[in-house]
Structure 1
């Protein structure tokens, strides 16, 4: 291109008046060429800016998916561990348990987590990485690895304990993993007769029952370990995203308090909380509570809900137990970044 312009310039210098017109034409060509080059550069810049914005948006969505999945995995870890705590007591220190709880605990040993399947796969399809950008390439690689690894299907091939209970004509109600424990369903008045309770006590000493309990303990440990490894990877990725994209934030909405202890005295009508800040994600409300159990949830559904084990403050447990709150007026504060709650009493 440069040689072309030089040859035209040389011709113009040799051709007198005609060269003036050619010189003018050359100037027009140069201006048009420069305009095209500038337009191409601006278009490339706009396209790259759009790509960066879409990349950051997708990364924020992935960040929020990881946020939820980490809580789900912690739930699996915690309740698998709790199953083994009950199993250990049943196996080694039966005398510490209320006899009425033993049939329920035996049934609960074979309660299993719901299958865990990550949701970031669809989002990864929209992640457009810039060629040569090592940081983006490595992040996309690690996220893809998580997506291929983060799938757990909990399915026992046999239910040995329930078979043994049925052989003794002891009922085997389905107890939902985690929920059964959180809601205190292990002791079920009226479900088991006194004779059935005594039979379940006697079963613990039988070799086949003890062997089934040991097998259950091994499975609980494996479930907990699998969930731990995936959660560890998810937390690492979540931290890496926050480091590379500090502007990402948690995208919770419509947080509310619900329960018999709320002003509405039911589990269907939420008292809304107000978002105070994005980072950290703080939600608050001043609420006159009638006293009793309450929980927190998002969008007035139970898809995302949290309970707790202590009052007036504590850790938000994913699908956790009801929080028992005395009657009174409180400033309720949720920190969804740290997963904490607090009920601050207000003067009447």
Structure 2
């Protein structure tokens, strides 16, 4: 009888111990699930910021690609067909191709910061794979921007000074050097000296050297853009619902009564099915516009030098004519469209 009681107590004690152990294991598992859920949420939040940084970076890269492309094309014309441009155009064009535009430091500091915050579970194969891709991008993309430091120099401007040709400041905007206001800085004698300089061996050598540097920068930027797109696609595959962090997008400019003040912008409406697309119908006067976010100039977008409806971060003003237009901006593809509303 006593033995049966002892045996019963032992079984009971073992059962209690097993229940406690099982309870602890369940609690640990639940805690692990909770911690993993928090880690997943944090991981998605961080890669969403990285994704948005990459969008901005691509818009900057696009602007630089078009800019260097325009410079190279103009250099080719100056070298192969010295008489192609009118003499009154030469000073402005020579200064334009000489403008230094470094591709270094393009990656926004925010991107590097968000990459450093990337916390993930090494047991999660997908997270580990994506995290490694992000880290590798941070390393390789910066290498694409290591170009000849000579690209920052202005040797053509120095030659113009030696020929007693004025070198007034020139904006990167492509139309500035063609404007009558800019040409007013020069006289006929300056145009003649610019033509003499154009046909000199020293300028031809300088143009050739600068052209090679810009081609090198163009190759690096093209590779960086391709890697940027590849990484964004990988983030999209892992996190299809990644969203655009800027939700207060609007238009400012001389084509609007409110002018250039971001706080007075005309707001665009977010597409309910795609948070990267914003649109609206607006009436413009003859003038220029840009897109801004959050009532400041911190995040703003304009046109690229190529004028192909690509968005460029801190890009050029977009010219519009008088009329009513439907404006659509897609920040995922970095494209915009402005079409007459009457045509719809």
| Normalised TM-score (structure 1) | 0.85
Give the alignment partner of residue 124 of structure 1, picking from 104, 107, 115: 115
Name the counterpart of 2:45: 57
Structure-1 separation of matches of 2:89 and 2:342: 40
1:84 paired with 2:72, answer: yes
User: 2:66·2:305 contact (CA, 8 Å) conserved in 1?
Assistant: no
2:165 partner SS: coil
- Report what 1:343 is aligned to: 339
State the 1:197 CA deviation. Answer: 1.7
TM-superposed deviation, 1:261: 0.9
Q: 3-state DSSP class of the match of 2:98?
A: coil
Higher relative contact order (CA 8 A, sep 6+): 2
Does residue 1:301 correspond to 2:307, yes or no?
no
> Of 176, 180, 187, which aligns to 1:184?
176
Where does the alignment leave 5 or more consecutive residues of structure 1 unmatched?
A: 1-12
Structure 2 counterpart of 1:165, from 156, 160, 177: 160
SS at match of 1:15: helix
- Alpha-carbon RMSD across the aligned residues, in angstroms, is 2.7
Distance in 1 (alpha carbons) for counterparts of 2:306 and 2:139: 37
Is contact 2:323-2:340 (8 Å) kept? no
SS of alignment partner, residue 96 of structure 1 = coil
Does structure 1 retain, via aligned residues, the 8 Å contact 2:251–2:289?
yes
Q: d(CA) in 1 for partners of 2:86 and 2:247? A: 42
Contact 1:116 / 1:150 at 8 angstroms: preserved in 2?
no
Query: CA offset at residue 302 of structure 1?
Result: 5.7
User: Judging changes above 3 Å, is the alpha-carbon distance between structure 1 residues 283 and 206 closer, same or farther for their aligned structure 2 residues?
Assistant: same
Unmatched runs of 5 consecutive residues or more in structure 2: none
Q: What is the aligned counterpart of 1:111 among 86, 99, 103?
A: 99
Residues 296-335 of structure 1: pairs in structure 2 closer than 5 A: 296-299=291-294, 300-301=296-297, 303-307=299-303, 314-335=309-330
Residue 14 of structure 1: how far off its partner (Å): 6.9
Other-structure match for 2:272? 277
> What residue number does 2:34 align with?
46
| Change over 3 Å in CA distance of 1:310–1:232 after alignment to 2 | closer
**Which string of whole-angstrom CA distances, capped at 9 and with x for unpartnered residues, describes residues 157-201 of structure 1?**
75321221111122233435xx332x5345413222221121011
More displaced 10-residue stretch of structure 1: 152-161 or 285-294: 152-161
Q: What is residue 6 of structure 1 aligned with on the other side?
A: none
Contact 2:285 2:321 in 1 (8 A): yes
Aligned partner of 2:215 among 215, 221, 226: 221
- The aligned residue for residue 150 of structure 1 is 141
Partner of 1:140: 131
Q: CA deviation at 1:104?
A: 1.6
- Stretch moving more, 143-152 or 217-226: 143-152
Residues 220 and 272 from structure 1, CA distance in 2 versus in 1: closer, same or farther, beyond 3 angstroms? same
Larger Rg: 1
